[in-house]
A and B are shown apart, each in its own frame.
Chain A
Amino acid sequence: MTDGYSEKVMEHFANPRNVGEIKDADGIGKVGNPVCGDVMWIYIKVKDDRLEDVKFKTFGCGAAIATSSMITEMAKGKTLEEALKISRGNVADALDGLPPIKMHCSNLAADGLHAAIKDYLEKSGKKMELPKIETAEEHG
Chain B
Amino acid sequence: MDHSATTAANPAVTEAMLPYFSENFGNPSSLYSIGRQARRAIEEARQKVADLIGAKKEEIIFTGSGTESDNLAIKGIAYKNRKKGDHIITSSIEHHAVLHVCKYLESQGFKVTYLPVNKDGIVNPADVEKAITSQTILITIMHANNEIGTLQPLEDIGKIAREKNIPFHTDAVQTAGKLPLDVEALGVSLLSMSAHKMYGPKGVGALYLRKGIFIEPLFHGGGHERNLRSGTENVPGIVGFGKAAELAKQRFPEEAKLADLRDRLIKGVLEIKDSYLNGHPTKRLPNNANFRFSYIEGESMILNLDMKGVSASTGSACSSTSLEPSHVLMAIGLKPEEAHGSLRLTLGLGNTQDDVDYVVSVLPEIVNKLRMISPLGR
Contact = CB atoms under 8 A, between A and B. Distances in A.
Contacts of B299: 61-62
Contact of A61 (B306, B316, B324, B374): B316
Contact of A62 (B303, B311, B325, B374): B303
A19 B318 contact: no
B318 A61 contact: yes
Contacts, number: 67
A65 B373 contact: yes
Interface string B314-344: 0011110101110000000000110010000
Nearest to A57: B375
Contacts of A1: 302-303, 306, 311
Contacts of A124: none
Interface of B: 295-297, 299-300, 302-303, 306-307, 311, 316-319, 321, 323-325, 336-337, 340, 372-376
B317 A2 contact: no
Contacts of A65: 300, 373
Nearest to B335: A37
A120 interface: no
Interface in A94-124: 101
A69 to B, nearest CB: 9
Contacts of A19: 372-373
Interface of A: 1-2, 10, 13-14, 16, 19-20, 30, 35-41, 57-62, 64-65, 101
B336 A13 contact: no
A58 B317 contact: no
29 contacts: A1-B302, A1-B303, A1-B311, A10-B303, A16-B373, A35-B323, A36-B316, A36-B324, A37-B325, A37-B337, A37-B340, A38-B340, A39-B375, A57-B373, A57-B374, A57-B375, A58-B374, A59-B297, A59-B337, A59-B340, A59-B374, A59-B376, A60-B318, A61-B297, A61-B299, A61-B318, A62-B299, A62-B303, A64-B318
Contacts of A38: 297, 318, 340
Given A58-B373, A59-B375, A59-B376, A36 B323 contact: yes
A60 B311 CA distance: 19
B320 to A, nearest CB: 9
Contacts of B297: 38, 59-61, 64
Interface residues of A: mostly helix, strand, loop or mixed?
Answer: mixed
Given A1-B302, A19-B373, A61 B319 contact: yes
Contact of A2 (B295, B306, B319, B337): B306
A59 B295 contact: yes
B340 to A, nearest CB: 7
Contacts of A41: 375
Interface centre among A20, A41, A59, A65 (most CB of B within 10 A): A59
B345 to A, nearest CB: 14
Contacts of B375: 30, 39-41, 57-59
B222 to A, nearest CB: 41
A94 B70 CA distance: 46
A2 B296 CA distance: 18
Nearest to B375: A57
Contacts of B295: 59
A13 B303 contact: yes
Contacts of B337: 37, 59
A19 B372 CA distance: 8
A1 B312 CA distance: 9
Interface centre among A10, A61, A101 (most CB of B within 10 A): A61
Nearest to A20: B372
A37 B336 contact: yes
